[in-house]
Amino acid sequence: MIGGERVVAIVAAGGSGQRAGVAKQWLVLGGETVLRRAARALAASEAVDALVAVVPAGEEGRAERELAGLGKPGRVVAGGAARADSVRNGLAAAEEAGVVLVHDAARPFASPALAGRVAEAAARDGAALAAVPVTDTVKRAAGAEPPRVAETLDRRTLWLAQTPQGFRRALLLAAYEAAGAGASAVTDECALVERMGAPVTLVPGEAGNFKITAPEDVERARAILEAPVATGVGYDTHRFAPGRRLVLGGVEFEGDGLLGHSDADVCAHAIGDAILGAAGLGDLGRHFPDSDPAWKGVSSLVLLREIARKAAERGWRVGNADVTLAARRPKIAPRAEEMRARLAEALGVSPAQVNVKATTGEGMGFVGREEGIAAHAIALLVRAAR
């Protein structure tokens, strides 16, 4: 609320992320969607009374869940083909507002204080936007291939427009009305107000308030919001089964094998579970259920390869993995180097990043009674540079 007038923040989240290659508003970064993070910053501003999120038609339910628990009432409406169409729908829904703030869902780093400053300037002056002065020298280009410099612009007059942009609601409605069908072509709402000749106040924006536009922006946001490393633990046991092959760490040993749907490589399974855990991807049973014939008798190195691929899809590479086998038999130490090499190859890392060791169980428990083998593993994942 500013000067007795209600302030509604419209979060434009109706895009499809063509340039980023992903619908940015639904990206989960640091455990939260980009949409929720952007909306949370607005909701945290004392000036903001309510939120209206504009999302692609059909995704309203999902957005309602994202707005829950932000401490301010939230509504969701369907967007349009162009950004300005989406904002127009949001504006129509913000009926009670004296002042509206329009903010890109794709700008999840704006601060609540910035939203407050823009809202105040908009309430006072009619229209305002967050913007940062240009610090690089700016050239205007002409020609296509290769483009050539036509002139150097005076950067002292140039500002980069951000959001939030704030408006007295009646002014923005009038600007849409005046622009008619041409409104869809503008890339920000201030342009509509400018066309009417109405003043727009520049409010110093924030360098960190960048818009996630291209894939490298997604990575920049991920690097800010997500921890650079993650750890996971894995534990597995398999019972001896005479007549089966004994495979540990991808290496075949003499003696009784282990019971299992795959090759029952308890060592590879523990490492796989540790990696899945670190990547927040659940466990081995979820990805390779023993009800699925595809995994019957499969080499667990195949599973490890697949697990490393799934972790990489989430932006992780394996930093290192360490496994301890609890086994009265066979003797692990003489083959440990071979096991490291096989496991490392499956994970796509150097053998130096994998460690294999063993203990006999000192005659205690199921290991000591030679009923089976247990494996304990830990894995460190490192955020991959992409």
Between 19 and 296, CB nearer to ligand LQXTBERG: 19
Cβ–Cβ < 8 Å for 119, 219: no
Between 164 and 250, CB nearer to ligand CTP: 164
Q: Which residue in this structure is represented by tokens 């619908």? A: 23
Between 79 and 164, CB nearer to ligand CTP: 79
For residue 274, count other CB atoms closer than 10 A to its CB. 28
State the minimum distance, in angstroms, from the CB of residue 128 to ligand LQXTBERG: 13
**Is residue 103 a known part of a binding site?**
no
Site for ligand CTP in 62-121 (CB under 6 A): 79-83, 86, 104-106
Phi/psi at 135 (5° precision): -110, -20
Give the one entry of ligand LQXTBERG, ligand CTP, none that residue 105 binds, where binding means its C-beta sits below a cut-off of 5 to 8 angstroms depending on kind.
Answer: ligand CTP
**Is residue 303 a known part of a binding site?**
no
Taking each continuous run of H as one helix and of E as one strand, the counts in the chain are: 12, 18
Q: Is 15 in the site for ligand CTP (CB under 6 A)?
A: yes
CA distance 9 to 111: 13
Between 13 and 339, CB nearer to ligand CTP: 13
Cβ–Cβ < 8 Å for 320, 348: no
**Is residue 361 a known part of a binding site?**
yes
DSSP string over 256-316: -EE--SS---HHHHHHHHHHHHHTT---HHHHS-TT-GGGTT--HHHHHHHHHHHHHHTTE
Q: Which residue in this structure is represented by tokens 């003696």? A: 255
Site for ligand CTP in 344-383 (CB under 6 A): none
Residue type, 81: A
Q: Which residue in this structure is represented by tokens 């704030």? A: 166
Q: Is 308 in the site for ligand CTP (CB under 6 A)?
A: no
Cβ–Cβ < 8 Å for 11, 42: yes
Give percent helix, percent strand, percent coil of the chain, each to the nearest 5.
35, 30, 35
**Is residue 167 a known part of a binding site?**
no
Between 187 and 350, CB nearer to ligand LQXTBERG: 187
**Is residue 359 a known part of a binding site?**
yes
**Is residue 135 a known part of a binding site?**
no
Among 2, 10, 12, 275, binds ligand CTP (CB under 6 A): 12
State the minimum distance, in angstroms, from the CB of residue 85 to ligand CTP: 6
Cβ–Cβ < 8 Å for 164, 115: yes
State the minimum distance, in angstroms, from the CB of residue 19 to ligand LQXTBERG: 8
CA distance 229 to 189: 40
Chain residues that interact with ligand LQXTBERG, rule: CB under 6 A: 83, 104, 161-163, 187-188, 211, 213
Among 2, 8, 9, 13, binds ligand CTP (CB under 6 A): 13
State the minimum distance, in angstroms, from the CB of residue 59 to ligand CTP: 11
Between 26 and 240, CB nearer to ligand LQXTBERG: 26
Among 19, 65, 155, 331, binds ligand CTP (CB under 6 A): 19
Q: How far is CA 101 from CA 40, 41, 165, in A?
A: 14, 12, 6
**Is residue 284 a known part of a binding site?**
yes
**Helix intervals (H) in the chain:** 34-43, 60-67, 83-93, 112-125, 169-179, 190-195, 215-225, 266-278, 284-287, 300-313, 336-347, 365-368
**Is residue 69 a known part of a binding site?**
no
**Is residue 261 a known part of a binding site?**
yes
Give the one entry of ligand CTP, ligand LQXTBERG, none that residue 88 binds, where binding means its C-beta sits below a cut-off of 5 to 8 angstroms depending on kind.
Answer: none
List contacts with ligand CTP (CB under 6 A).
Answer: 12-20, 24-25, 54, 79-83, 86, 104-106, 211, 213
Binding residues: 236-238, 261-262, 269, 283-285, 288-292, 359-362, 366, 369
